[in-house]
Amino acid sequence: MGPSKRVPNPPDYHVVSLTYSVKHTEDVTYDAPPPVAFETTEARFHLADAKLACYMKIHFAAEAEARAVVEPVLRAWELAADLRLGIRKLRFQFEKAEVIDRTPMPPGRGNIYAHLKVVSALTASLGTVSTHVTLQAYPEPPGDFRITPDVETLSNRYQGYRDGREPLLSMAYFCLTVLEAAAGGRREAATTYNIEYDVLKKLGELTSVRGDPRTARKMLTPPMPPLSGAEDAWLQETIKQIIWRVGDQRSPANLPPITMADLPRL
C-alpha cells in the first residue's frame, strides 16, 4: 500500500465584521457628527465618518447569519430616528463583510487566514420625503427598542399616514385596536403596556367623534367637528409613544407609565 493521502481540513469560515454606509437621502445632511459606539450581545457597533463597522463578538460562519442578527438592530435604529426626528433621517446600506478561513494551514506554510469580502445592499425599511435638515449628531442608538411584528404593523400604518396614503384618524384608531387585540381589551391594554387608561380612552374618543367626510373614521349625525391643531398634535405624539412602548424590550411594568401629562396639552 502506498502512503495515505492527507485529507485537507474543511474550511472554518468566521465573520469578523460587517460594514455599512450611512445612505445619503435628500432630506438630511450630517455636518461632522461625533462618532457613536455601543454594543449588543452579538456585536460592537462603531459609527464614524458615515461608515458603520459591526465587529462580531460571537462566531458566525456565514455573512447571512451575521447580518440576520445585526440588521434588526439597524432597522430599529432607523425607525427610532424616524420617531424622534422625522422620517428618513437615518438609513444604512450594506457594503461588505470581512470573512476569514480559520482552518490551520499545513506545516511550513504559516498560519495565514483567507479573507473573503462580499458586497451587497440593505433595503431601507421606510421611506418618504420631508424637509431638508442639517444634523450635527447621528441619531441615538435604539437601546432596548426593536421592531417586533406589532411594531412593524404599527409603524407601517404610521408611515402610510406620513406618506399621505391614509387619514390620521383611521391610522390612529387602527393602532389602538392593535393594542386591544394583543391584550384582550382596552383596560387590559392599559395594564399590559403601562399606559394610563385615560390616554387610550381619549385616543378612542378622538378617533370616533372627529373628522369630516374626507378624514373621519366613520360618519355620524349631526356632522362631526374636525380635529383641532392641538388634537392633531396629540394624536401624532400618542401614536409615536405607543410604537416606542410596544417596541421596548423591557417589561412595561419597569417603565414609567405613559400618562396624559406626557402628551401635548389638549
Tens-place pLDDT, residues 158-199: 999 999 999 999 999 999 999 999 999 999 999 999 999 999
**The residue count for the chain:** 266
Q: What is the pLDDT of residues 109-123, one digit of tens each?
A: 544 444 444 444 443
Q: Out of 27-31, 140-144, 207-211, give the one with best mean pLDDT.
A: 140-144
Angle between helices 186-193 and 168-183 (to 10 degrees): 80
pLDDT for 9: 77
Check residue 5 and give its pLDDT. 63
Half-sphere exposure of 136 (CA within 13 A, CB side): 0
pLDDT at 39: 97
Mean per-residue pLDDT over the chain, rounded: 87
